[in-house]
Amino acid sequence: MSHIPVLLPESVKLLLEAPSLTTGGVVVDATFGGGGHSRALLQESMEKVTVIAVDRDPAAVSRARSLLSEFPSRFRLLTGNYADLSRLLIGIGIEHIDGLLLDIGLSSFQLEDEERGFSFQSDGPLDMRMDPAVGQPAAEIVNRADVRTLTRIFRNFGEEPYAAAIARRIVKQRQEAPLRTTRELAGLVEKMVPAYKSSRRHPATRIFQALRIVVNDELGALTQVLECGLEQLGPGGRMVVIAYHSLEDRIVKRFFRQAARGCVCPPKVPVCVCGCSPRVKILTGRGQRPTDAEIARNPRSRSAVLRAVEAL
Ligand SMILES: C[S@@+](CC[C@H](N)C(=O)[O-])C[C@H]1O[C@@H](n2cnc3c(N)ncnc32)[C@H](O)[C@@H]1O
């Protein structure tokens, strides 16, 4: 099992060329995963750059061992939710950072471990918690939420056109027996979505995405880390975010545009009265995507969009 880092040279270059890192500083990799980005950041930076990695999945800690021994004075790993980034950093005495990387979503380690319940391609318990000690497993939602709630989850977080029909079917099915496994849920969805055989994506893709987002409050955590990450960045520091679906990317794009504009006056107000000034400059225009060669090498990269800003 391994995880191939996505947009690796692009993200590392953007982060290490931050003006505020010229004489050294701190880069936070808030999504350690398999450590691919952390390793490249450590290898390609100078002695005065420290990398602090964060992951909410306790299993990531075991994968950090070799980096901890190779770079004992320049690398640290913290276990926690990046939504709490400020608190995590203050806990180790860091008030300002020069770089922040968010490579959001799941690692291949998580997807391929059937016991975690993230994938409909293998059979496992319907869990989907990134930190197995926090929150309720997906099975709790699937077996307890009413039709309206399930419909809203599948529609809002999976953009699923058959949300209501699938929700009704789940509620009917669980009256006979609760849905406990990924295969049971995927099988049920498969039966509900017409013409699925002709489509490229398995119909359960959207349902699993929706449940995962809710189980881990992924969009809430993203919104929080964007704001607190930007507060933490000193002038000339850079933030790089790699998103894998439109819901995440929309949040990142809007946040960066707003931060670059500064002004929060309604469009109808002819002259700015809010007095807010731009906090960042956008470095990646419409977003950077993997090349065809990268997608061929690593199909999981195909939906990735990288956006980066520099703090002013
Ligand atoms: C796509 S993987 C990162 C892969 C990594 N860049 C690499 O090259 O190996 C995303 C990682 O972020 C972690 N993660 C997702 N949401 C998180 C959150 N709110 N707080 C901390 N870690 C999170 C996941 O547990 C997962 O390990």
- Residue 242 alpha carbon, nearest atom of ligand 1: 1
- Residue 131 alpha carbon, nearest atom of ligand 1: 25
At residue 156, does pLDDT exceed 60? yes
Domain extents for the chain? 8-109+218-311, 131-215
At residue 196, does pLDDT exceed 70? no
Q: Which CATH class is domain 8-109+218-311?
A: alpha beta
How much is the pTM? 0.95
Q: pLDDT confidence of 202, banded at 50, 70, 90? A: confident
Q: How many CB atoms lie within 10 A of CB 247?
A: 18
The residue whose CB lies within 8 Å of the most ligand 1 atoms, and thus the one to mutate among 54, 130, 209, 294, is: 130
pLDDT of residue 197: 58
User: From the CA of 254, how far away is ligand 1's center (Å)?
Assistant: 22
Mean of pLDDT values over 85-101: 97
User: From the CA of 260, how far away is ligand 1's center (Å)?
Assistant: 26
The residue whose CB lies within 8 Å of the most ligand 1 atoms, and thus the one to mutate among 1, 15, 32, is: 32
At residue 88, does pLDDT exceed 90? yes
Nearest 5°: phi and psi at 258?
A: -65, -45
User: For atom 13 of ligand 1, which residue has the closest CA?
Assistant: 31
Higher pLDDT, 267 or 163: 163
User: From the CA of 53, how far away is ligand 1's center (Å)?
Assistant: 10
Structure tokens at 187: 């099988």
Residue type, 176: E
User: From the CA of 107, how far away is ligand 1's center (Å)?
Assistant: 6
Mean of pLDDT values over 272-298: 95
User: For atom 27 of ligand 1, which residue has the closest CA?
Assistant: 33
pLDDT of residue 276: 87
- Residue-averaged pLDDT of the chain: 94
Q: Strand (E) positions, 178-279?
A: 233-243
Distance CA 70, CA 235 (A): 30
Structure tokens at 288: 């950077």
Q: pLDDT confidence of 275, banded at 50, 70, 90? A: confident
User: From the CA of 104, how far away is ligand 1's center (Å)?
Assistant: 6
Distance CA 118, CA 1 (A): 15
User: CATH fold of 131-215, please?
Assistant: DNA polymerase; domain 1 (1.10.150)
